[in-house]
Amino acid sequence: MTNSLHGRTILLIISGGIAAYKSLDLIRRLREVGARVRCVLTQAGAEFVTPLSVAALSEEPVFTDLFALSDGQAMAHIRLSRESDLVLVAPATANLIGKMAHGLADDLASAVLLANDKPLMIAPAMNGAMWSHPAVQANVATLRQRGVAVIGPGKGLMACGEEGEGRMVEVAAIVEAVTAHFAVSGPLAGKRVLVTSGPTYEPLDPVRFLGNRSSGKQGHAIAAALALSGAETILVTGPVALPDVSGVRTIHVESAREMLAACEAALPCDIAVCAAAVADWRAADTASGKLKKGTGAPRLDLVENPDILATLAQSCPRRPRLVIGFAAETESVHDNAKSKLQRKGCDWLVANQVGTDKVFGKDDNQVTLLRRNAQDEVTADPWPSQSKTDVARRLTEEVVAFFNHSP
Ligand code: CTP
C-alpha cells in the first residue's frame, strides 16, 4: 500500500465539525501514500481549522469561496471535480449531507458536490442523536442509493460528552477506504512493473543537449495498459510533452544515468519494459558555461552511456521475471533485433523500423515480437500495423498469458 495512490488527485471537502481537526492528519496520510490532495474548506470548517494549516499540509491553494474570481479560483466548483479522481467529504456534517441529498448549492462545497462527476465518499461526523434522526438517515439512504460510499460513522465518546454512533471514523480507516477504492483488480494485480519511456537528454552545456526524436507515446501507452490490468506500474520517463498517466507512478528524469538510477531504485519488480530511446552516448565533459562561437566548432568527446535494458536483464538476483526490450532499427530489422535480444539478455524484444517519417512521434506502429525460449531459440511474431494504444494492449495480453502459463 506504500505508494498506492500515486498519480491520484483527491478533492477533500472539510465541513464544520470538531472532527475537522482530524482532516489535517488525513491530508498528511493521503499524501504519504502518494495522493495529491486539494481541499475545499466550508465557512463552518474554517471555524475549526485554518486555511493556512490546510494549505501548508496539502501544499496546494485552499478553495473557500464560490464567488471568487481571483487566485485561479474562478469556476472552481466545476474545475475542482473535473481535475480530481475522487471527491471525499471528511468530516461530512448533517447539514452538508442534507444539502447533498436535496441538491442545494449555496456555497462552494455544496456547489462542487452538485457539479461533481467523480466517485464520492463521505465520512459523517455528528452527535449520536443527530445521526440517528430519521431526517439524516433518510438523507444518507438517498446518497447511498446514488452510489455515494459512506465511511462510518464510528461509535464512542463524542466531543459533546455523549456516547453513541456518530464519531468520524479514524483517519487510517478513511485512507484504507480510499485506497481500496483505487485498488485495481485485474489479471496483473499483485505484479509490479517498471516501464521506461521517452528520450534521454545528455547535456553538452547549460543550454544544449544531445537527444532524439522519441515522443514517449508507445512507452506511456504501455504503462497505461499495464496499470489498467491491475499491475502496480512505475514509469520512468525522459523529457516528453505528454501528461502523466493516471494511476501510474511517474518519475521524470533527463539523462541516461538518471534513468538507470531511477530504474534500479524501482527494483525489485516482476516485469520491466524498456521502451525508452536512451541516448547511446553522452559528452565526456559537460561545459559549465555556454559554449561560445568564434573560436571554431567545439570538439565533442563522447562516452558510451550505461545500457539500462542490459543492466536490468543481468541484474541477478533482482532480475525481473520478464524483461522486454524494444529495438529501433533502420535496416535488417529482424536480424539486428534477434542479435540485440541475445546480446542484451532480455526475454522478449519488440522490434520496429524507424526513420524520420516512421514511428517517432506517430500514433501507429508496426512491430514484430521476438521471444527467446529456455533453449535460447528465438521466434518472431509480426503484428499488423496498429495504433500504439493497440500495440500496448496486445503486449499486455501477451504478458498476462505469460504469467498465466508460468505463474
Ligand atoms: N536501451 C537501454 N539503454 C541504452 C540503450 C538502449 O535501455 N543505453 C534499450 C532501449 O530502451 C531498447 C533497447 O535497449 O529497449 C534497444 O535500444 P536501441 O536503441 O534499439 O539499441 P541500441 O542499444 O542503441 O543498439 P544499436 O546501437 O545496435 O542499435
**Do residues 175 and 201 both lie within one domain?**
no
Whether residue 1 is contained in a domain is answered as: no
**Do residues 143 and 273 both lie within one domain?**
no
Whether residue 84 is contained in a domain is answered as: yes
**Do residues 78 and 47 both lie within one domain?**
yes
**Do residues 149 and 266 both lie within one domain?**
no
Could you give the 3-state DSSP secondary structure of residue 244? coil
Q: Of 72, 98, 88, 85, whose CA–CA distance to 121 is shortest?
A: 88
**Do residues 88 and 203 both lie within one domain?**
no
Q: How far is the CA of 327 from the centre of ligand 1 (A)?
A: 7
Substitution candidate for ligand 1 out of 274, 314, 365 with most atoms within 8 A of CB: 274
Pick left, alpha or beta for residue 59 (phi over 0 → left; psi -120 to 50 → alpha; otherwise beta): left
Per residue of the chain (407 residues), give pLDDT as tens: 456 788 899 999 999 999 999 999 999 999 999 999 999 999 999 999 999 999 999 999 999 987 775 556 666 778 899 999 999 999 999 999 999 999 999 999 999 999 999 999 999 999 999 999 999 999 999 999 888 999 999 988 777 788 889 999 999 999 989 988 887 678 999 999 999 999 999 999 999 999 999 999 999 999 999 998 989 899 999 999 998 887 788 899 999 999 999 999 999 999 999 999 999 999 999 989 998 888 888 888 999 999 999 999 998 889 999 999 999 888 888 889 999 999 999 999 999 887 656 656 677 889 999 999 888 889 999 999 999 999 999 999 999 999 998 87
Q: How far is the CA of 347 from the centre of ligand 1 (A)?
A: 15
Whether residue 18 is contained in a domain is answered as: yes
CA distance 355 to 51: 54
Residue pair 189/48 in contact by the 8 Å Cβ criterion: no
**Do residues 222 and 153 both lie within one domain?**
no
**Do residues 153 and 256 both lie within one domain?**
no
C-alpha cell at 13: 471537502
Report whether residue 333 contacts ligand 1, using a CB cutoff of 6 Å.
no
Domain total of the chain: 2
Whether residue 3 is contained in a domain is answered as: no
Whether residue 162 is contained in a domain is answered as: yes
Could you list the residue range(s) of the whole structural domain that residue 226 is in?
A: 192-402
CA distance 404 to 167: 46
**Do residues 383 and 239 both lie within one domain?**
yes
**Do residues 175 and 235 both lie within one domain?**
no
**Do residues 312 and 362 both lie within one domain?**
yes
Could you tell me the sign of the dihedral formed by the alpha carbons of 195, 197, 201, 207, in that order?
A: negative
CA distance 155 to 161: 13
CA distance 264 to 250: 15
Report whether residue 325 contacts ligand 1, using a CB cutoff of 6 Å.
yes
Phi, psi of 332 (to 5 degrees): 40, 50
**Do residues 218 and 350 both lie within one domain?**
yes
**Do residues 116 and 136 both lie within one domain?**
yes
Residues that are catalytic? 160
Please count the other Cβ atoms lying within 10 Å of the Cβ belonging to residue 93: 23
Domain at 227, CATH number: 3.40.50.10300
C-alpha cell at 368: 514484430
Whether residue 235 is contained in a domain is answered as: yes
Could you tell me the sign of the dihedral formed by the alpha carbons of 27, 28, 29, 31, in that order?
A: positive
Domain at 42, CATH number: 3.40.50.1950
Phi, psi of 24 (to 5 degrees): -65, -45
